[in-house]
Amino acid sequence: MDTETDPKKPRKKIHPSQYPLRRRRFKKRYWLLIDLAVAVTFLVLLLYTPAGYKPAVSDDQGHISSYLMQLSSEFYNGAQLQEPFEVVVIDEKLNEAIAGWSQASPDTVLSAPAVRFVPDAIELMGTASIKGVDLVVTIVLQPEIDANGLLNLQVDKVKTGAMNITPLARVVARNMYEQQIAVRPVDTQDWRAQVAASLLDGQPFDPVFPVDDKKVRLEKVDVQDGKLILHLTPVP
């Protein structure tokens, strides 16, 4: 019988002095496996595409969206009548209108936007391409008008893939806002600057918007499943 495979042959004993070395090797491999698992999990969460992210496909060939023109007309005509009115925005039609939009910076390209209206919240989604890596970014807004009539476009959540980065995003956004107002003069009474301050720094503002020689105030924001209803009144 082959002595190499003989079960009766005694196994080679490990000298006690070798135990610490074997334990160190085992621990090293153990922690390497944990680090690998954490890295894989991080990448999976980061590259995750939410099931609700379904950007529309653009086919307007650069023309101004008829739906955006319709909303603009409703807003303008309502302001001219100087009576309370509503503007209803449907997320499906809005997504078709903004399909194909993109914005590029030296390191990042934002594209494929999508908007979802869900009860009491607005979900803004898009693809951020950073050095060839595509990440889906989700921003959840909860617009609210307080008892004093001030509007706050509260950013409730920011996610990259499936990772919640809200605390980090708030710090970065606040720093961006402070840098912007530090390097160039900003008209704090301009409604666009007020919207930016609310989004980036959580500052509520009086939601009064000019329409030619008239003004309207946003009295209520009603976000329902699939649609956004804006309740507006004239400002004397």
Q: Of all residues in the chain, what percent are helix, strand and coil, respectively (each to 5)?
A: 35, 35, 30
Cα 123 to Cα 214: distance, rounded to the nearest angstrom: 31
User: Do 139 and 88 share a domain, yes or no?
Assistant: yes
pTM, whole model, 2 decimals? Answer: 0.78
User: Do 170 and 209 share a domain, yes or no?
Assistant: yes
pLDDT of amino acid 41? 75
Residue 6 counted as domain residue:
no
User: Do 97 and 38 share a domain, yes or no?
Assistant: no
What is the domain extent for residue 125?
Answer: 66-235
Structural domains in the chain (count): 2
State the maximum Cα–Cα separation within the chain, in Å, rounded to a whole number: 108
Residue 59 counted as domain residue:
no
User: Do 151 and 75 share a domain, yes or no?
Assistant: yes
CA atoms within 13 A on the CB side of 104: 4
Nearest partner of 47 among 39, 56, 55, 37, judged by Cα:
39
pLDDT of amino acid 17? 52
Cα 56 to Cα 2: distance, rounded to the nearest angstrom: 72
pLDDT of amino acid 47? 81
Residue 105 counted as domain residue:
yes
Span 195-207, pLDDT tens digits:
988 988 889 999 9
Cα 224 to Cα 126: distance, rounded to the nearest angstrom: 21
Residue 11 counted as domain residue:
no
pLDDT of amino acid 1? 47
User: Do 77 and 190 share a domain, yes or no?
Assistant: yes
User: Do 35 and 147 share a domain, yes or no?
Assistant: no
Please report, in tens digits, the pLDDT of each residue of the chain (236 residues total).
454 555 555 555 554 555 565 566 656 666 677 767 777 777 777 888 888 899 988 766 567 789 999 999 999 999 999 999 999 999 999 999 999 888 887 788 989 999 999 999 999 999 999 888 899 999 999 999 999 999 999 899 999 999 999 998 888 888 877 887 788 777 878 888 899 889 888 899 999 999 988 999 999 999 999 999 999 999 98
What amino acid is encoded at 129 in this protein?
A: S
pLDDT of amino acid 220? 96
pLDDT of amino acid 190? 87
In DSSP terms, 122 is beta-bridged to 117, 141
Cα 189 to Cα 213: distance, rounded to the nearest angstrom: 17
User: Do 108 and 193 share a domain, yes or no?
Assistant: yes
User: Do 79 and 39 share a domain, yes or no?
Assistant: no
Nearest partner of 235 among 120, 91, 78, judged by Cα:
78
Residue 61 counted as domain residue:
no
Q: What are the counts of helices (DSSP H) followed by strands (DSSP E) for the chain?
A: 5, 10
